């Protein structure tokens, strides 16, 4: 379907704009309408004085929200780890070691197999309201496999992240310094043309503070934005290092001390929480309340990956954030839309105001509250992406 011509979405019972023009933290408007032109929001106002339009979508009094911004996903992989999940549910702890299983399967897969998985998961996320998604490499861990992972990711999104420093691959297990040199040298050179961001898994068993700093600094020097996987499995230096290097986001933030929270509160770095991981690994959730009360900007994302969180569902993450992390429904919806946009340093998504990208969803529900109130229910009735109904 073409995005040309104007499209009016009217009869909106509750419009979440995330704009200061509306009421409360979500910029709510009642009985609203919204005009789309050339893939952008052209007008937002009252349903009583709607402009003329070529086409019309009747929201039927339901809630309309900005599309979800999922700022953390690993979609380029082969194989699955359902048996590992079952073993974990039977009592085995999660260690992160299963990443190497997926690396082996990903290296062995054809381009066509990887592309099919990326497209399937991207379509799955879109059906659930995700209109912006970040996709990482990190299961190739060779120069050629990282570059092809990013090339394939770039076919579905502009938000691509080079994660050559996901784990040290088995063939470098006894010489991690050599692997860091590879990541900063030929691997970065091959990956950078296809990537907007660089990321490191800064964790015991993955990369320490010195390696993380070296890799992020190299990436920044060639123009990539910085993000960090930090403080997931235990306390560590990742969060403070991310803030120091002006990362757009530090992700996981499950094990934080007061200095970590103070650093986040005093910096520009978003704390992205990934509650699908704690759900799927049966681990304690991050303390979202502590971060919000300290004034930290919080985002929610899926961390969709075959090991620790095989969900593409942002509504599920919103429900977990409310039920398990003591976020209010408004805080969780903001974090899953505008918060994700902040984590990607974007001001054209996660918001519905004139000039923003016309990415939105119409719910089968009268209010954003239902996303947490009715967990597991397919409430996304219709999605517009770049103004085009999907
Ligand atoms: Zn991740």
Band of residue 96 on the pLDDT scale cut at 50, 70, 90: low
Q: How far is the CA of 331 from the centre of ligand 1 (A)?
A: 22
CA of 60 to the centre of ligand 1 (A): 38
| Rounded average pLDDT over 220-231 | 98
Binding residues for N-formimidoyl-L-glutamate: 139, 305, 307
Q: Which fold has domain 68-344?
A: TIM Barrel (3.20.20)
Q: What is the pLDDT of residue 343?
A: 98
Quote the ligand 1 centre to 253 CA distance (angstroms).
12
* Helix or strand run (H / E) with residue 361: strand 360-363
Say which CATH architecture domain 6-66+351-389 belongs to: Roll (2.30)
∠ Cα 91 95 98 (to 5°) = 100
- pLDDT score of 4: 64
Q: Rounded mean pLDDT of 211-219?
A: 98
In this prediction, residues 200-220 reach a mean pLDDT of 96
C-alpha to C-alpha distance for 331 and 328, rounded to whole angstroms? 5
Q: What is the pLDDT of residue 49?
A: 87
Say how far apart CA 234 and CA 41 lie, in whole Å: 43
Give the Å distance between the CA of 229 and the centre of ligand 1. 6
Average pLDDT, the chain: 96
238 Cα: distance to centroid of ligand 1 (angstroms): 14
CA–CA dist 295, 382 (Å, integer): 34
Q: What is the pLDDT of residues 132-143, one digit of tens each?
A: 999 999 999 999
For residue 17, how far is its CA from the centre of ligand 1 (angstroms)? 28
Q: With pLDDT > 70 as the criterion, what percentage of the chain qualifies? A: 98
Mean pLDDT over 38-62 rounds to 95
Kindly report, residue by residue over 149-186, the tens digit of the pLDDT.
999 999 999 999 999 999 999 999 999 999 999 999 99
Ligand 1 centroid to residue 145 C-alpha, Å: 18
Question: Where are the CATH 3.20.20.140 domain residues in the chain?
Answer: 68-344
Q: How confident is the model at residue 349 (pLDDT cuts 50, 70, 90)?
A: very high
Residue ranges, CATH 2.30.40.10, the chain: 6-66+351-389
Residues 6+ apart with CB under 8 A from 314: 68, 70, 125, 128, 129, 130, 300, 301, 302, 336
In the annotated binding site, the residues are 72, 74, 81, 139, 166, 229, 232, 303, 305, 307-308
3-class secondary structure, 253: coil
């Amino acid at each position: 379907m073409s995005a040309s011509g104007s499209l009016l979405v009217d009869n909106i019972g509750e419009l979440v704009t995330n704009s200061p023009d509306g009421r409360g933290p979500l910029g709510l408007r009642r009985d609203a309408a919204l005009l789309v032109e050339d893939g952008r929001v052209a007008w937002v106002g009252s349903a009583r004085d709607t402009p003329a339009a070529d086409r019309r979508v009747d929201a039927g009094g339901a809630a309309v929200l900005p599309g979800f911004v999922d700022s953390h996903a690993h979609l380029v992989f082969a194989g699955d780890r359902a048996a590992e999940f079952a073993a974990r549910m039977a009592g085995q702890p999660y260690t992160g070691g299963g990443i190497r299983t997926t690396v082996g399967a990903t290296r062995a897969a054809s381009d066509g197999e990887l592309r099919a998985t990326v497209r399937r998961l991207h379509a799955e996320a879109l059906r659930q309201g995700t209109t912006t998604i970040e996709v990482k490499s990190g299961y190739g861990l060779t120069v050629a496999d990282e570059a092809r992972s990013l090339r394939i990711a770039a076919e579905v999104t502009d938000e691509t992240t080079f994660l050559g420093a996901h784990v040290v691959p088995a063939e470098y297990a006894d010489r991690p310094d050599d692997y860091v040199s590879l990541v900063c040298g030929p691997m970065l050179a091959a990956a950078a043309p296809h990537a907007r961001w660089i990321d490191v898994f800064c964790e015991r068993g993955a990369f320490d503070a010195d390696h993380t700093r070296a890799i992020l600094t190299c990436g920044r020097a060639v123009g990539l934005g910085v993000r960090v996987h930090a403080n997931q499995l235990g306390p560590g230096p990742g969060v403070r290092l991310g803030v120091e290097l002006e990362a757009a986001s530090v992700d996981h933030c499950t094990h934080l001390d007061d200095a970590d929270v103070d650093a986040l509160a005093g910096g520009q770095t978003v704390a992205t929480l990934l509650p699908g991981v704690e759900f799927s690994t049966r681990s304690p959730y991050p303390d979202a309340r502590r971060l919000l009360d300290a004034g930290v900007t919080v985002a929610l994302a899926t961390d969709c990956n075959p090991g620790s969180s095989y969900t593409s569902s942002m509504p599920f993450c919103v429900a977990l954030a409310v039920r398990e992390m003591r976020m209010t429904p408004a805080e969780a919806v903001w974090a899953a839309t505008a918060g994700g946009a902040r984590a990607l340093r974007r001001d054209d998504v996660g918001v519905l105001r004139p000039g923003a990208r016309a990415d939105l969803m119409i719910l089968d529900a009268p209010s954003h509250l239902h996303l947490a109130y009715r967990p597991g229910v397919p409430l996304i009735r219709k999605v517009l992406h770049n103004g085009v109904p999907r």
